[in-house]
Amino acid sequence: MDEVFRALADPSRRRLLDSLNARNGQSLRELCAGLDMARQSVSKHLAVLEAAHLVTTIRRGREKLHYLDAAPINAIAERWIGRYDRQRAQALHDLRTTLEQSAMNAFVYTTYIRTTPERLWQALTDPAFTRRYWGVSFDTDWTPGSPMTWDENGRRTAHPAQVVLESEPGRRLSYTWHTFTPEWAEAAGVSPETLARLTAEGRTKVTFDLEPHGDTVKLTVVHDGFDPGSTLRDMVSEGWPALLSSMKTLLETGETLPA
């Protein structure tokens, strides 16, 4: 938490977070132009924010895109705001609210897994892996544009809009999210009211970026395309951390987390 407080103490770094709040996934060039700050200064501030895990990065060709990660702010808010009067913590509270609102159109989560890119790719695509930590398998050839059928314990969900978007083995995988059906809702314990809200929302997509990092792999998950006030966004913000923790445990120990 000390790194987070030090990162937030500088007004220029708070401006960078505000810029990413307004439009997530910006390159260094875009951030410099939008804030009228020198490239070297922006780079230094971004390095501090990334070290504090307030910002995570993903490479797109020659560019590196920067995404805001609200998890550290949420952790501080949960620990401190309830213990001190609201006025003394107002700045932190306001920033937490801003970051949470920015996540309406994207959920970003980064984790480091002691494995290889090839093994992690297998964990994301091989039914023998995905069934163990997710309870889901995918019927697809993982070619961009190919359809995907989701199989959850024999309940199959298919739709023309469920497709693979990008597929670079060991580096990057992206696909559209599944269709919400009454059969899925019944099996998942989702109420008819919640199902109605989910089906009214636009289709989202998820992207996995894999980057070697010493003897680990940096995995960044970006789930985006959410409507404002999205019900699905609230659901995946709880689901992804648990799911990825189970995958990490499986890859590192051979066992999944207890159900």
Tens place of pLDDT for every residue, the chain, 259 residues? 678 788 888 888 888 888 887 777 888 888 888 777 788 888 888 889 888 888 888 877 777 888 877 666 666 655 555 544 444 444 444 444 444 444 446 888 888 999 999 999 999 999 999 999 999 999 999 999 999 999 998 899 999 999 999 999 999 999 999 999 999 999 889 999 999 999 999 999 999 999 998 999 999 999 999 998 899 998 998 899 889 999 999 999 988 766 5
User: How many domains, the chain?
Assistant: 2
Examine residue 39 and state whether it is found in any structural domain, yes or no.
yes
Q: Are 203 and 148 in contact (CB under 8 A)?
A: no
* b/e map 160-199, b = 16+ CB within 10 Å: eebbbbebeeeebbbbbbbbbbeebbeeeebeeebbebbe
Question: Can you give the C-alpha Rg of the chain in angstroms?
Answer: 19
Asked if 126 and 99 sit in the same domain, the reply is no
- End-of-domain residue from the set 39, 71, 103: 103
Distance CA 180, CA 135 (A): 17
Q: What is the reported pLDDT for 86?
A: 47
- End-of-domain residue from the set 63, 78, 103: 103
Distances (CA, A) of 1 to 156, 194, 219: 43, 36, 22
Q: What is the reported pLDDT for 80?
A: 55
Distances (CA, A) of 204 to 71, 142, 165, 171, 197: 21, 18, 12, 21, 14
Asked if 149 and 44 sit in the same domain, the reply is no
- End-of-domain residue from the set 68, 103, 138: 103
Other residues' Cβ atoms within 10 Å of the Cβ of residue 125: 18
Examine residue 63 and state whether it is found in any structural domain, yes or no.
yes
Asked if 99 and 118 sit in the same domain, the reply is no
Q: What is the reported pLDDT for 96?
A: 45
Asked if 127 and 212 sit in the same domain, the reply is yes
Examine residue 109 and state whether it is found in any structural domain, yes or no.
no
Examine residue 64 and state whether it is found in any structural domain, yes or no.
yes
Examine residue 241 and state whether it is found in any structural domain, yes or no.
yes
Strands 172-176 and 205-213, how do they pair?
antiparallel
**Domain holding 126: CATH number?**
3.30.530.20
What is the length of the chain? 259
Asked if 94 and 132 sit in the same domain, the reply is no
* Domain span holding position 241: 114-253
Tell me the whole-structure pTM to 2 decimals: 0.69
